[in-house]
């Protein structure tokens, strides 16, 4: 498929796809005229990249772990980094869960205040 279709299927912009290639995260065949052609599994690849980006992992780190993700083989140092990223994701989740509690208490307080017309006691 061509780049526009891949963009449409993944919801990622054409510019971003070219950027991924620039970073070595995504490869493509080229037609005779030089246009990019992608295999069907490129869709999954792009989604994986997006997911890792979403976890705050940099393109350099993604590049490092991609072969491992694709082949299942990892050098010990890469494996160590994978563990590092894992802990960072766990920590992010924990922090977000705490933030969620905060937001909930704010929302609850504000909703009640709005219903009763009385401001809640300041924290």
Partner DNA sequence: TAGAAACCTGACATTGACGTCAGAGGTAGC
Partner DNA sequence: GCTACCTCTGACGTCAATGTCAGGTTTCTA
The residue ranges that bind a second copy (CB under 8 A) are 48, 51-52, 54-55, 65, 68-74, 76, 78-79, 82-83, 85-86, 89-90, 92-93, 95-100, 102-104, 106-107, 109-111, 113-114, 119-123
Give the distance between the most distant pair of CA atoms in the chain: 71
Q: Count Cα atoms within 13 angstroms, Cβ side, for 45.
A: 20
Burial status of residue 44 (CB atoms within 10 A of its CB: 0-12, 13-18, 19 or more): exposed
Out of 11, 24, 27, 35, which residue is the one contacting DNA (CB under 7 A)?
Answer: 35
Residue matched to tokens 């922090």: 95
Q: Does 26 bind DNA (CB under 7 A)?
A: no
d(CA 36, CA 69): 23
> Which of the stretches 26-34, 68-76, 80-88, 106-114 binds DNA when contact is defined by CB under 7 A?
26-34
Residue 25: left if φ>0, alpha if ψ -120 to 50, beta else—which one? Answer: alpha
Q: Does 2 bind DNA (CB under 7 A)?
A: yes
Kindly tell me which of 37 and 114 has the beta carbon lying closer to a second copy.
114
Residue 34 CB, shortest distance to a second copy, in Å, is: 29
- Binding-site ranges for DNA (CB under 7 A): 2-5, 7, 12-16, 18-19, 23, 31-36, 53, 58-59
């Amino acid at each position: 498929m061509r780049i526009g279709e891949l963009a449409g299927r993944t919801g990622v912009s054409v510019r971003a796809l070219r950027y991924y290639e620039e970073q070595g995260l995504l490869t493509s065949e080229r037609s005779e005229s030089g246009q990019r052609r992608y295999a069907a599994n490129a869709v999954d690849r792009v989604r994986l990249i997006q997911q890792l980006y979403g976890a705050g992992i940099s393109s350099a780190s993604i590049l490092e772990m991609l072969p491992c993700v694709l082949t299942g083989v990892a050098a010990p140092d890469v494996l160590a980094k994978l563990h590092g990223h894992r802990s960072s994701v766990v920590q992010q989740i924990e922090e977000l869960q705490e933030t969620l509690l905060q937001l909930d208490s704010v929302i609850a307080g504000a909703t009640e205040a709005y219903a009763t017309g009385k401001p809640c006691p300041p924290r």
